[in-house]
Amino acid sequence: MPFDSRSGHPERRRGVASRGKRRTPRTEAPAPVASLPRRNGDVAKAGKSGVREMFESICVAVILAFFVRTFVVQAFKIPSGSMEPNLLIGDHLLVNKFVSAPTLTTIEDTLLPIQTIQRGDVIVFKHPRMPDRDLIKRTIGLPGETIELRERRLYVNGKLLDEPYAHFLLNATDVPATDVRRNFGPVTVPPGHYFMMGDNRDNSEDSRYWGFLPREHVKGKALFLYISFGEGPGSIANVRWARILRQIH
């Protein structure tokens, strides 16, 4: 072992505190990184971006709602008893507007669920004489057909029409023979028009009074009831639960 020449004692190695123990190296803490100051323009830009996204979302929702209401389905309410007992006052129904959607090409006719109006279809349309008023009636006569009412029986092109949906409030003898509710016509439906009648034949303002329905006044075909308010069988809390989701024929 080496000796210290000045003290005569064995020389200790520098840097070693004691045998078997090692001094761990000192680690320095990382220097703090200075954050860059945020500019006011960045905050304003983020705010404008959020407002713009919200505005665009609202615009898309409005456009979709307008498209659905204009071309797909629309809700209507039954205001009168002209279609009783099939449709009651307080019935709320959805209407398929594709039946009245205009098409320009045969491709649109193939791809889109466009429907043509058939006899017996229940149609919502604008009143021919008061376009701001909506009516709902059943399609009886198609373009080119001859319609005649004899003693309250309906004939199309001279053939008796079976009408299980027709409803009468009065006896035939209680209605004068000259009344259009008992005898009417014959009349021929012009091109692009329809002859419409209510199911409640003694209480319906229809083509017997205001004439033929122009095709461009059609709004859509009645699909089903989504809610019905009023009293009647199965009505609870003024809701006719048994009529909900009832398909319209």
Q: Which residues contact 208 (CB under 8 A, 6 or more apart)?
A: 149, 180, 181, 184, 197
| Active-site residue, from 5, 18, 80, 82 | 82
Q: Is residue 228 a contact partner of residue 244, using CB atoms and an 8 Å limit?
A: yes
Amino acid code (one letter) for 197: M
Helix residue ranges, H only, the chain:
40-67, 106-111, 207-210
35 is catalytic: no
| Active-site residue, from 137, 219, 221, 228 | 137
Q: Is residue 238 a contact partner of residue 229, using CB atoms and an 8 Å limit?
A: yes
Q: Is residue 114 a contact partner of residue 99, using CB atoms and an 8 Å limit?
A: yes
Name the CA dihedral angle for 64, 66, 71, 76, rounded to a multiple of 10 degrees. 120
Give residue 234's region: left, alpha or beta (phi > 0; psi -120 to 50). Answer: left
219 is catalytic: no
CA angle 116, 77, 193 (to 5 degrees): 30
The residues carrying an active-site annotation are 82, 137
